Amino acid sequence: MSAKAPAAGKQAQAPAQGKPAQKASAQQGAPKKTKADNPLREIRIEKLVCNICVGESGDKLTKASKVLEDLTGQKPVLSKARFTIRSFGIKRNEKIAARVTVRGDKAKEILDRGLKVKEYELKKRNFSSTGNFGFGIQEHIDLGIKYDPYTGIFGMDFYVVLGRAGRRVSIRKRGRSKFGNFQKVSKEESMQWFKQTFEGLILN
């Protein structure tokens, strides 16, 4: 009985020796993860800025603000002129434009409406070197806003700021640190994001 016991023990240990080999083969067969698979590398819309510049203060600027408020549901902020331009009749510090900053799902929904007017076609010069892009439309009623004879028709500028998680560390007041270049959005990456997200077309 004592002579057979070691043989049984060897047979019991045999399957245990094969387990590391099975794990190694499973690891070799699994796809290798890259930095692009990191969820923090996902590009997202940080904000969308809608701007209407009328070039003068008064009733026309009030109507433009009403258009932006109907589009976004937010109260617009008025912008002032930085310089005096006599040929255009613009004085320094005169309120001449209205703008709204939109974030989150609402920003993507309004952006989709704006790109639909452009038929999802943009040019390379619409994209900046910092990974942002912008475009304009000529008539705000193309966005689905009902035409009002009293308000009239206004053109509008869209500017989209894209980014990745972590940019806040470079702009916060306390504990500010460097934001790596690898995490920044390039022009080529923003163009690729536009193609994949909206199935858009980029013209030369």
Distance CA 110, CA 102 (A): 9
- 3-state class of 107 per DSSP? helix
List the one residue out of 47, 101, 49 whose CA is nearest residue 75.
101
Distance CA 65, CA 80 (A): 14
21-53 per-position pLDDT tens digit: 555 555 565 567 776 678 888 999 999 999 999
191-200 per-position pLDDT tens digit: 999 999 999 9
Q: How does pLDDT run along the chain (204 residues), one tens digit per residue? A: 455 555 555 555 555 555 555 555 555 655 677 766 788 889 999 999 999 999 988 999 999 999 999 999 999 999 999 999 899 888 999 999 999 999 999 999 999 999 999 999 999 999 999 999 999 999 999 999 999 999 999 999 999 999 998 888 888 999 999 888 888 999 999 999 999 999 999 998
- Predicted local distance difference test score (pLDDT) of residue 61: 95
Distance CA 20, CA 171 (A): 48
Treating both helix axes as pointing N-terminal to C-terminal, what angle do 59-72 and 104-117 enclose, rounded to 10 degrees? Answer: 110
The tokens for 7 are: 């043989």
pTM: 0.77
